[in-house]
Amino acid sequence: MFRQLPLTLIILSTLVAAGCHDEHQPIHHSRFLAFGTLVDLDIVGADRKTAEQASAAIQADFNDMHQAWHAWDPGPLKRVNLLIQKGEQFAVPPSVQPLIEQSSLLSAQSNHLFNPAIGHLIDLWGFQKSPEQWEPPQQEAIDKLLSANPRMSDLQLDDILLQSSNPSVKLDFGAFGKGYGIDLAIEHLRELGIHSAILNSGGDLRAIGNRDGRPWRIAIRRPSGHGVFAMIEVDGDESVFTSGDYERNFTYEGRLYHHIVDPRTGYPATKSHSVTVIHQNAATADAAATALFIAGPDEWHEVAQAMGIKFVLLVGSDDRIHMNPAMQKRVILVDKNHQEIVVSKPL
């Protein structure tokens, strides 16, 4: 369900913290595995005992969320997907209901480019299997799922009762669950009295507060997946999420296929190399990064407006860089490499 990704974002402050201690505000760093990727947590200003207890609590939270939201391992979401196919009304588990509610809204705002209902299509591409098994599915199988047109709007949620009018719906929150989980974890940190921290899961992150009065500095990798492409500073409470075609992919008969599937075609989206968005809410940023990647250079602006995204950096498949004026003021392009930069009208 959740993407096993190389780090899309490099947290420069983490590297500094590993080598020295701030004499005013200590930084406590911890790392654990969750959602199939490494999670890094930096906590600023707390004493060691508080930081260690908070890190343990967040790790436990992530483990619980992974179990609850996994699309094919036994758990609440798998049970929901089995019951959806029956077409009968049933009580949705409380661990899954908020994801359905929020992702349904985001899906509608994105004109269904972000579509967690296409779990069967995701399964068909087989990225949950080992890489040596990756190959394009049969066109007939893709066409069958496209004709069924599963969408979040096929779900009817009445209080806690859920029913689907389309048995082809299978929920897969791989492009949303991690962001939603980060939001919950940040809330938990604040409940524990921590107000400056950065939580980075597989390269996607949310940062609150700052580093002893200094912004968190985020480096974005090149669309190739190697080296630094741009820098962004984050201060206060913001999430930075990136989707890219270099994250999980394979080449078959000379053509590159990656894991971000366009629900309109049934094939991996072809118009973008990477998209980075900034938004306060990590779940929204997670969903938007996927939707804007699929939208590509021609449609991203309209989709970003509908989803309430104010900061976008998109690298098209032709390597041209697209961004809105607000993002242009914040981003520092480290490696311009003579690429054409296209600045849109304001969002």
Taking only the tens place, the pLDDT of each residue in 29-41 is 999 998 878 999 9
Residue among 233, 255, 80, 220 nearest 157 (CA):
80
211 band by pLDDT with thresholds 50, 70 and 90: confident
Mean pLDDT of the chain: 90
| Residues 71 and 174: beta-carbon distance below 8 Å | yes
Sequence ranges of the binding site: 175, 286, 290
Over residues 39-59, the mean pLDDT reads 96
| Residues 286 and 136: beta-carbon distance below 8 Å | no
List the domains of the chain with CATH numbers.
1-347 (3.10.520.10)
Residue among 32, 42, 34, 51 nearest 12 (CA):
42
Range from 105-119, 127-141, 220-234 that averages highest in pLDDT? 105-119
Three-class SS of residue 171? coil
pLDDT score recorded for residue 4: 41
pLDDT score recorded for residue 5: 40
pLDDT score recorded for residue 277: 98
Q: What is the pLDDT of residues 169-178, one digit of tens each?
A: 999 998 899 9
pTM tops 0.85, yes or no: yes
Going by their DSSP bridges, the two strands 341-343 and 216-221 should be labelled as: unpaired
Sequence ranges of the binding site for Mg(2+): 175, 286, 290
pLDDT score recorded for residue 22: 42
**Integer Cα distance of 111 and 109 in angstroms:** 5
Residue 56 identity:
A
pLDDT score recorded for residue 337: 65
Q: CA 252, 256, 261, 263 torsion: positive or negative? A: negative
